[in-house]
Amino acid sequence: MSANLHDLPTPTLLVDVDVLQRNIEDMAAYADRAGLALRPHAKTHKSPAVAALQRAAGATGLSVATVSEAEVFADAGHTDLFIAYPLWLDHDRATRVRALLQRATLTLGVDSADAARRLAAQLAADAAGIRTLVEVDSGHHRSGVPPEEAGLVADAARHAGLEVGGVFTFPGHSYSPAAQAAVAAEEADALKRAAASLRDVGVEPTVVSGGSTPSVAHTHADAMTELRPGVYVFGDAQQWELGTTTPDRIALTAWSTVVSHAGGRVVLDAGSKVIGADRPAWATGHGRLLDHPGARIVLLSEHHAVVEWDEGPVPELGSRLRVVPNHVCNAVNLVDELVAVHDGVVVERWPVAARGANT
C-alpha cells in the first residue's frame, strides 16, 4: 500500500489526510457551536470512506443529489440520507426509492405540488416511511419555490399523504466575489419566510436546512436547524479565489507532470478530464497550482494545462506539481479512486464509489 508520491502515475488525485481531517473537524465544531445539525453534501467526495470521517466527527447524516448516490451510500452503511433535489419520480426512480426504503431512512426534496402528488402516487403505501422537505429559492434561481409558496407545496404534500418535515434551500449565488455575507442574509430571510409559510398552513417545520461552503461562515443560526456544505472537505480553487479558504486548507490536488516547455511555458498532463472544465467568469484561470500561487493555467484542454509562470525559471521537464481544480466536485467524479497521502506517503486508496451516479 505505502508508496512514494514520485512512484505514482500522473495525473492522480491526491488527498492530504491531515488537511482533510482538520477541515472536517473544524466544520463539525462550527456547526456544534452554532447549535446546528451538520448533514454534509456527499456529492463532493462520493466516497463512503470520507463520509465515515464526517460522521465520526459528528455529522448527523448525509445529503446526496441523486437516488443512485443514495443507493451507493446506503450500501456502504450510511443510512440517514437526504436527497436534496427537486425529485420527479418516474417509474425507474420510484422503484429504486421503494427498494432503498428497506435499508435507509430517506428525506426527499420536492419543489412543486405536482411533484409531491406524483411522489405520493408512485410510492403509494411506502410513502408513509418518507419525510419530505420543500425546496425554496433563496436567490440562486435554480430550483425551489418562492418562500411564500412553500406552504402551498407543503399543503399539497400533506394532503397527498406525505410527511412534511420542513424546508431547504441552496444559496448557490454565494459563488460570486464578495457576495457571501449578503447571500447568507438572503438565505436566512428566505428560510424564515418559508417556515412562516408552512406554519400558515398548519405545518410546524422541524427541519430548516441550508448552507453552502462559501457562505457558511456567515450563517444566521437563528434561521435554520441544519447545514449542508459539501466542498469544505477538500476545498478548491474557486474557494481560494473567493477568499473562503486558504491554500493550507486545500486537501485535494491533481498530482501532475511537466511534459512540455512549449512557448516558454509549463505544460502539465492534468487536463479537463481529471480536473474538470469548470471556469466561472470571475476565476483567474482554469485552476491553480497549490505551491505556486502566482502561476496561472491560461489554457486547459483534455490532457494539457498550459501554465504561465510568474516567478524565476520554469520547473524542469518531468517535475511534479500539485494542481488545484476550480471545482472539486466535478474533479472527483472523473476518477475511480482518491489516493490518500500523509507526509508524502500514500496511506490509503479510497474508492469514489458514487462516481457517475447521476440517475
Binding test (CB under 8 A) with a second copy, winner from 192, 193, 220, 303: 303
Does residue 302 bind a second copy (CB under 8 A)? yes
* CB closer to a second copy out of 1 and 222: 1
Q: Do 305 and 323 contact (CB within 8 A), yes or no?
A: yes
Residue type, 80: D
Q: Which among 162, 174, 276, 283 is positioned nearest to 227, based on CA atoms? A: 174
Binding test (CB under 8 A) with a second copy, winner from 36, 289, 306, 321: 306
Q: Phi and psi of 337, rounded to 5°?
A: -150, 155
Residue type, 300: L
Contact range with a second copy by CB under 8 A, out of 54-62, 134-142, 206-214, 237-245: 134-142
Binding test (CB under 8 A) with a second copy, winner from 22, 192, 220, 261: 261
Cα(301)–Cα(151) distance, integer angstroms = 47
Does residue 359 bind a second copy (CB under 8 A)? yes
Q: Which among 192, 191, 188, 246 is positioned nearest to 219, based on CA atoms? A: 188
Binding test (CB under 8 A) with a second copy, winner from 15, 119, 227, 334: 334
* CB closer to a second copy out of 111 and 187: 111
Does residue 115 bind a second copy (CB under 8 A)? yes
Cα(289)–Cα(265) distance, integer angstroms = 14
Does residue 11 bind a second copy (CB under 8 A)? yes
Does residue 215 bind a second copy (CB under 8 A)? no
Does residue 91 bind a second copy (CB under 8 A)? yes
Binding residues for a second copy, total number by CB under 8 A: 64
Q: Which among 49, 11, 16 is positioned nearest to 269, based on CA atoms? A: 11
* CB closer to a second copy out of 206 and 260: 260
Binding test (CB under 8 A) with a second copy, winner from 114, 204, 291, 310: 114
Does residue 301 bind a second copy (CB under 8 A)? yes
Interface of this chain with a second copy, residues 55 to 74, rule: CB under 8 A? 65-66
Does residue 193 bind a second copy (CB under 8 A)? no
Bond preceding residue 11 cis, omega within 30 of 0: yes
Binding test (CB under 8 A) with a second copy, winner from 9, 178, 222, 313: 9
Does residue 329 bind a second copy (CB under 8 A)? yes
Binding test (CB under 8 A) with a second copy, winner from 327, 338, 340, 346: 327
Which grid coordinates belong to 185?
A: 442574509
* CB closer to a second copy out of 54 and 66: 66
| Binding residues vs a second copy (CB under 8 A) | 7-12, 43, 65-66, 85-88, 90-93, 111-112, 114-115, 118, 137, 141-145, 172, 257-263, 267, 269, 271-274, 276-279, 299, 301-304, 306, 317-318, 327, 329-330, 333-336, 356, 358-359
